[in-house]
A = this chain, B = another copy of it.
Amino acid sequence: MATVAVENYLKHILLLSEGEAENGLVPMGALAAAMAVVPGTTTTMVKALADGGLVEHRPRQGVRLTGEGRRVALGVLRRHRLIETFLVNVLKMDWSAVHPEAERLEHAISDEVLDRLDALLGHPATDPHGDPIPSAQGKLSTEVHATLATCATGKPLRVVRVTEQSAEFLHFAEVHGLAPGATVRVTDRNLAAGLVTVKKSTGHALALSLAAAGNILVAPVQ
């Protein structure tokens, strides 16, 4: 029943409610920006979604998924991330190119195909960017990680996730050995200059802005 547009609104509400919201309410403006539509369109659509029981709309405050809306959104996200994993692991595409592909395929793939893809990939827990893949039952890992902007300095760390899907950033991260699985150490962090310096396992040093460093999630090497 859910159209492509409906699936996209729900998906973006889910993603925005993870990142930004404290009270769980996603501001209409943030949603409009994410969907690349004018704000008025978002109001119209959100009211329609609310009518359908998929979201709760607090006028002038924001929007929040209902249980049913979250269920649908998690399904879309699961499809998206499994498709990205397939494109990278099986078709050997570059991880910086798969996002727009998955953006279209996620609305066209059935549960049947998805289950087979999942099995073919060995039921992966994360996609190539380290983003957790919701389970078929709608469970989404909420593990919290430090970032290169917030982690302890000096200690060896493993990159576990890159939370920025722009092709440019992903390409940059790949070229400079900051893809999930890489081992790095933060050697210096200068808040005033907004600069983070990391040393890679190759010995090479690399400087990043705090903003960029915040997109690289890391975990201590055990």
Contacts and interface: CB of A to CB of B under 8 A. Distances in A.
B87 A120 contact: no
Contacts of A105: 105, 108-109
Report how many copies the assembly holds: 2
Nearest to A90: B120
Contact of A116 (B92, B107, B117): B92
Contacts of A92: 116
A104 interface: yes
A120 B91 contact: yes
Contacts of A116: 91-93
B93 A104 contact: no
A112 interface: yes
Contact of A108 (B87, B90, B107): B107
A113 interface: yes
B90 A113 contact: no
A110 interface: yes
A105 to B, nearest CB: 5
Contacts of A90: 120
Contacts of A91: 113, 116-117, 120
A207 interface: no
A101 interface: yes
Contact of A112 (B101, B110, B117): B101
Interface string A67-98: 00000000000000000000100111100010
B112 A93 contact: yes
A109 B105 CA distance: 7
Contacts of A87: 113
A97 B11 CA distance: 28
Interface of A: 87, 90-93, 97, 101, 104-105, 107-110, 112-113, 116-117, 120
11 contacts: A91-B116, A92-B116, A93-B113, A93-B116, A97-B112, A101-B110, A101-B112, A101-B113, A104-B109, A105-B108, A105-B109
